[in-house]
């Protein structure tokens, strides 16, 4: 990978001096991170996992009329985060939401979204 790192770095530096340098400059700022997949075992060289994580939110946005208020936008952000987090942990979404509503009705804190065990990646 070393020759490829050098070549890509050289191309980014060259691109950073052209008439539209934005992307190249942005990538140069995190150049070392671009190669994490080569240095760390188990890290995929793609963003497929991240793409799969945001897909439900993208589908919701495309199939709805959006929100009508800042509070509605915050709700959508939060519920999508909760659902995604619970699915990663193989936890039941409806059970969690019922527990969260009950806690709110009783003036208690919502149940934790933190995992009780390490989550396998991939």
Distance of CA 46 to the CA centre of its chain: 13
Which H/E stretch holds residue 118?
none
Contact of 31 with 16, CB cutoff 8 Å: no
Q: 23-38: per-residue pLDDT in tens?
A: 999 999 999 899 998 9
Q: 61-103: per-residue pLDDT in tens?
A: 888 888 899 999 999 999 999 998 999 899 999 999 999 999 9
What residue has token string 């060259």?
A: 14
- The pTM for the full model equals 0.57
Domain layout of the chain by residue ranges: 2-39, 48-105
């Amino acid at each position: 990978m070393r020759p490829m790192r050098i070549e890509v770095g050289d191309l980014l530096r060259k691109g950073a001096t052209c008439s539209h340098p934005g992307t190249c400059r942005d990538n140069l700022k995190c150049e070392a991170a671009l190669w994490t997949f080569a240095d760390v075992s188990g890290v995929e060289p793609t963003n497929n996992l991240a793409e799969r994580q945001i897909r439900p939110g993208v589908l919701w946005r495309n199939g709805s009329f959006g929100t009508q208020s800042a509070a509605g936008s915050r709700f959508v952000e939060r519920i999508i985060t909760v659902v995604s987090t619970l699915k990663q942990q193989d936890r039941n979404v409806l059970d969690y939401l019922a527990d969260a509503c009950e806690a709110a009705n009783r003036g208690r804190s919502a149940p934790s979204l933190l995992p009780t065990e390490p989550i396998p990646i991939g």
